[in-house]
């Protein structure tokens, strides 16, 4: 950290003002494709976090936000989406330099995904409705209201920085909350840009605040009594810490955590389609995807053919870098452990040559259920192939995991597809397709993959409190 570059570093957005850290502290991000320094970023101090919370609380009491007609909230979100689209190339380049995702991914996945979430929830802003229900006492009229939870701390990971920011920000604002964005320390730049666009779109001051920095900034938010809700996407380990630390004022907490997605390739599957699904499902964004397909169950009779084809496609693929040297060492550690545990390394298995944090697409055969390759979230370009003899073992083996974020089934048979989809413990099941979330479909995990759901109508539960109003309609006799 240094104070020297505080004047050229990115700034914090607190209550409509862009300011350096109150201590002048900054930190440096790196371009994962070269390893070279990228940008000096403000490191928010505890005072800055407190100021951001105070600003978000004040905005929760400000009629400029709370009395804004719902149609105007919708318009602001739509305008924000237009601004992201109007600056798409520049923002995509920023995401690529910050996160390392290839430009085709940032331009063709991140940008449309971000815009899609903003527009989807722009639509919801005018449709946040209550209900009536007949009471047992016919003289009581009852209705419910959905009200904003209040100040929401949105704590973000580095793997899809902008899109994940949008999938939290859009429903939070659509439901009338105020927010504090806390991007990951590795990838803060597109959140800084998005916060600027929120201002340009016309959100009142204090509705969207931004504090950059490391885990200490996240911790301060999670422990803060002025924060009503935490929405966190990141590792399961930190998710557990957040749940404990938010107990003070019993914050509302949604957690989108790690995964170890099984891909089940049934006996009747179109093997070539499954091979392509494996390579893309495992290696997209260099495997740094929470729902990445990361353990593959193949019929023993077809496994040699499958492994050979997967290895040939994987070895020919050019993928982007991993996020950091530290993460590359962690991925390499899992690969070394796989070899030590007796799995057969078919291709890859080491850092790729050149600058930057690249790693070779890696395929293992002969992986067994108890091996770390089959159990741990690696979050890198590693494809562990397991085999089965009897399809009846598949559900038990797929469910033998702490995680339950997603699962994938490849089959031509509808009965197999529906039976497996119903029996696998996961928040999303993808049949004969890649793990592509959609703003309209719920997203979240069973078991250690998280708590709650984001996206779709389900996100409204995460960002509202329900109030019941009882009206006495009895007339005096
Ligand atoms: P991480 O848990 O290390 O960090 C995430 C964020 O939390 C960062 O902003 C970090 O500064 C902050 N943080 C760290 N410690 C904290 C603490 N004690 N209190 C509050 N905040 C704290 O995660 P990561 O390495 O950035 O992201 C990778 C992980 O995210 C993977 O496990 C991946 O599976 C998961 N992920 C899940 C989903 C999903 O939808 N389920 C989506 C993307 C990523």
Residue 261 Cα to ligand 1 midpoint, Å, equals 18
Fold classification of 3-257+450-467 is Aldehyde Dehydrogenase; Chain A, domain 1 (3.40.605)
Give the pLDDT confidence of 263-278 residue by residue, as tens digits: 999 999 999 999 999 9
Task: Kindly state the helix (H) or strand (E) to which residue 417 belongs, with its residue range.
Answer: helix 414-423
Distance of CA 307 to the CA centre of its chain: 30
Asked which of 3-17, 19-33, 381-395 is least confident by mean pLDDT, the reply is 3-17
Query: Longest Cα pair distance anywhere in the chain, in angstroms?
Result: 89
Q: Is 290 a catalytic residue?
A: yes
Domains of the chain, by residue range, sit at: 3-257+450-467, 261-431
Give the pLDDT confidence of 190-214 residue by residue, as tens digits: 999 999 999 999 999 999 999 999 9
Instruction: Provide the Cα torsion 383, 389, 393, 394; round to 10°.
Output: 30
Is the C-beta atom of 222 inside 6 A of ligand 1?
A: yes
Is the C-beta atom of 155 inside 6 A of ligand 1?
A: yes
Closest CA to 314 of 265, 268, 281, 355: 281
Contact by Cβ (8 Å): 330, 372? no
**Tokens 């990445």 belong to which residue?**
292
Band (pLDDT 50/70/90 cuts) for residue 128 is very high
Give the pLDDT confidence of 40-65 residue by residue, as tens digits: 999 999 999 999 999 999 999 999 99
Fold classification of 261-431 is Aldehyde Dehydrogenase; Chain A, domain 2 (3.40.309)
Percent of the chain past pLDDT 70, that is, above it, reads: 98
How deeply is 194 buried, as exposed, middle or buried, from its count of CB atoms within 10 A (0-12, 13-18, 19+)?
A: buried
Is the C-beta atom of 388 inside 6 A of ligand 1?
A: no
Which protein residue's CA is at the shortest distance from atom 39 of ligand 1?
256
Token pair in block for residue 169 = 């920000």
What is the per-residue pLDDT for 455? 98
Is the C-beta atom of 88 inside 6 A of ligand 1?
A: no
- How many of the other CB atoms lie within 10 Å of CB of 112? 14
| SS3 (DSSP) at 36 | coil
Q: Is 256 a catalytic residue?
A: yes
* Main-chain dihedrals φ then ψ at residue 76, nearest 5 degrees: -60, -45
Is the C-beta atom of 53 inside 6 A of ligand 1?
A: no
DSSP 476: P
Residue 300 Cα to ligand 1 midpoint, Å, equals 36
Token pair in block for residue 89 = 């190339």
User: Sign of torsion, CA 250 51 64 76?
Assistant: negative
Which protein residue's CA is at the shortest distance from atom 30 of ligand 1?
234
Q: Which of 191, 229, 235, 407 to mutate to test the pocket of ligand 1 (most atoms within 8 A of CB)?
A: 235
How deeply is 476 buried, as exposed, middle or buried, from its count of CB atoms within 10 A (0-12, 13-18, 19+)?
A: exposed
Give the pLDDT confidence of 68-115 residue by residue, as tens digits: 999 999 999 999 999 999 999 999 999 999 999 999 999 999 999 999
């Amino acid at each position: 950290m240094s104070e020297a570059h505080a004047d050229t570093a990115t700034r914090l957005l607190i209550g409509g003002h862009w300011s350096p850290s109150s201590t002048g502290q900054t930190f440096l991000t790196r371009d994962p494709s070269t390893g070279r320094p990228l940008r000096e970023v403000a490191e928010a101090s505890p005072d800055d976090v407190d100021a951001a919370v105070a600003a978000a609380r004040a905005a929760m009491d400000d009629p400029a936000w709370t009395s804004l007609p719902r149609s105007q909230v919708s318009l602001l979100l739509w305008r924000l989406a237009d601004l992201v689209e109007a600056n798409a190339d520049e923002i995509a380049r920023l995401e690529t330099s910050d996160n390392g995702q290839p430009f085709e991914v940032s331009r063709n996945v991140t940008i449309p995904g971000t815009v899609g979430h903003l527009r989807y929830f722009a639509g919801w802003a005018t449709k946040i409705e209550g209900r009536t229900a007949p009471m047992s006492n016919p003289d009581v009229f009852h209705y419910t209201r959905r009200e904003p939870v209040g100040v929401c701390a949105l704590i973000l990971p580095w793997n899809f920085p902008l899109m994940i920011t949008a999938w939290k920000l859009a429903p939070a604002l659509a439901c009338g909350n105020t927010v504090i964005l806390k991007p990951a320390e590795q990838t803060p730049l597109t959140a800084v840009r998005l916060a600027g666009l929120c201002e340009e779109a016309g959100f009142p001051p204090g509705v969207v605040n931004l504090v950059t920095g490391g885990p200490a900034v996240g911790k301060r938010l999670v422990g803060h009594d002025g924060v009503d809700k935490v929405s966190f996407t990141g590792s399961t380990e930190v998710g557990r810490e957040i749940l404990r630390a938010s107990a003070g004022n019993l914050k509302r907490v949604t957690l989108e955590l790690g995964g170890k997605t099984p891909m089940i390739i049934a006996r009747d599957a179109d093997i070539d389609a499954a091979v392509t699904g494996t390579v893309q499902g495992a290696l997209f964004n260099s495997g740094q995807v929470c729902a990445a397909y990361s353990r593959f169950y193949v019929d023993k009779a077809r496994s040699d053919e499958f492994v050979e084809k997967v290895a040939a496609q994987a070895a020919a693929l050019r993928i982007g870098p991993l996020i950091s040297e530290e993460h590359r060492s962690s991925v390499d550690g899992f690969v070394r452990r796989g070899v030590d545990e007796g799995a057969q390394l078919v291709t890859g298995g080491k850092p790729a040559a050149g600058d930057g944090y690249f790693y070779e697409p890696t395929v293992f055969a002969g992986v067994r259920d108890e091996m770390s390759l089959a159990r741990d979230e690696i979050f890198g370009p590693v494809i562990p192939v397991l085999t089965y003899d009897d399809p009846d073992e598949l559900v038990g083996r797929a469910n033998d995991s702490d995680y339950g974020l997603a699962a994938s089934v490849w089959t031509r048979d509808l009965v197999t597809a529906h039976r497996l989809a119903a029996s696998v413990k996961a928040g999303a099941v993808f049949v004969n397709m890649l793990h592509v979330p959609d703003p309209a479909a719920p997203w979240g995990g069973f078991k250690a993959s998280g708590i709650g759901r984001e996206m779709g109508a389900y996100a409204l539960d995460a960002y509202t409190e329900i109030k019941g109003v009882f009206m006495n309609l009895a007339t005096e006799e």
